[in-house]
Structure 1
Amino acid sequence: MIERPSARYGQQRLTRRQRRLLAGGLTVLVLVAGIVVAVVAFGRFDNPAEGELSGYRLLDDQTVEVTISVTRSDPAEPVVCIVRARAIDGSETGRREVLIGPSTQKTVQVTAAVRSRKPPVVGDVYGCGTDVPAYLVAP
């Protein structure tokens, strides 16, 4: 390759080999970044506790009784689940946090009454997690 003065001819382009190395390096960088994002996302979305609605019963115009099945990867660890009441329009009209203490079984069934601001038509489980607030832990 002939060296030409950059002041007169402008900056020289990359050689074919340099372009291939640059493209290969960028490809590897993008793949590594994708793997890192996937590993972090998997760690965040891997929920060690899962709640599933088993049933609900309307007690009166302000209360629904919600029964959930809670499955944990570690039954010795306490979890908290949020159960809620919903009105006819689908809006959440009541909510309650339920502490599920340590157990010997992976799956336990829990029933909780939820007070509602409007007449409830359904009860459901919003979700469960292992971040138990301090105010739910028994002294």
Structure 2
Amino acid sequence: MSSSDRATNPTPPQSGPRATYPTEQSPQSRRRWFIAASIGVVIAGLIVAFLGFRSFGDPDISGSATGYDVISPDTIAVQYTVNRKDPSHAVACVVRGRAQDGSEVGRREVLIPASRDVQVGARTEVRTSREAVIGEVFGCTGNVPAYLKPID
């Protein structure tokens, strides 16, 4: 048997250190793993970025209180602005009054009709069950309930 016969038909050793420890990977194999792992990390990063933007990006509709006035122990007036990307659609907002302990003491749903303006200011009076110390906009939505739609 010549040395050239061994090179053409290599057989793994049955015992010893070479049988226990795997042989080293080729540079091409390590490069493939690195490229695959890099692509996986980039794809995972893009997915996280997309979900974060969808959750925390600018909403299509938003409302925020700009001021309030306690009119009486059972009424508070809230001034607020509504921003919407598409002003041709009506918006429903929930405006509420809160007591000193933070509990909600009055709530009112308000229809903001369609207009030409992206930002609209409004003022709403909210009846309360006891004295309110602050008025705020709880939230706004484009899903206007049927009972808030104006009569044609």
Measured in 2, the distance between the counterparts of 1:94 and 1:111 equals 15
Measured in 2, the distance between the counterparts of 1:107 and 1:67 equals 13
- CA deviations on 1:92-125 (whole Å, 9 max, x unpaired) are 3322222211012222112222233332001011
Aligned position for 2:3:
none
1:35 aligned residue (21, 39, 46): 46
Report the TM-score, using the length of structure 2 for normalisation: 0.73
Per the TM alignment, residue 133 of structure 1 is displaced from its structure 2 partner at its CA by 3.0
Paired residues, number: 138
Per the TM alignment, residue 130 of structure 1 is displaced from its structure 2 partner at its CA by 2.0
1:101 aligned residue (89, 93, 113): 113
Measured in 2, the distance between the counterparts of 1:97 and 1:6 equals 80
Measured in 1, the distance between the counterparts of 2:109 and 2:62 equals 14
Give the direction of change, closer, same or farther, for the CA distance of 1:6–1:62 in structure 2 (3 Å limit): farther
Percent identity over the alignment is 36
Give the direction of change, closer, same or farther, for the CA distance of 1:69–1:10 in structure 2 (3 Å limit): same
Q: Which amino acid aligns with 2:22?
A: Q
- Between stretches 64-73 and 42-51, larger displacement belongs to 42-51
Q: Which amino acid aligns with 2:64?
A: E
Per the TM alignment, residue 52 of structure 1 is displaced from its structure 2 partner at its CA by 2.3
Give the direction of change, closer, same or farther, for the CA distance of 1:104–1:29 in structure 2 (3 Å limit): same
Report the TM-score, using the length of structure 1 for normalisation: 0.78
Aligned position for 2:7:
none
Aligned position for 2:4:
none
- Between stretches 102-111 and 4-13, larger displacement belongs to 4-13
Give the direction of change, closer, same or farther, for the CA distance of 1:61–1:31 in structure 2 (3 Å limit): same
Structure number with greater Rg is: 2
Per the TM alignment, residue 7 of structure 1 is displaced from its structure 2 partner at its CA by 9.2
Partner of 1:104, secondary structure, is coil
Q: Does 1:22 align with 2:33?
A: yes
Unaligned runs of 5+ in 1: none
Instruction: Note the aligned Cα RMSD (angstroms).
Output: 2.8
- Between stretches 75-84 and 129-138, larger displacement belongs to 129-138
Aligned position for 1:127:
139
Unaligned runs of 5+ in 2: 1-9
The correspondence of residues 21-100 of structure 1 with structure 2, limited to 5 A, is 21-44=32-55, 45-100=57-112
1:112 aligned residue (124, 132, 138): 124
Q: Contact (CA 8 Å) 1:62, 1:118: kept in 2 or not?
A: yes
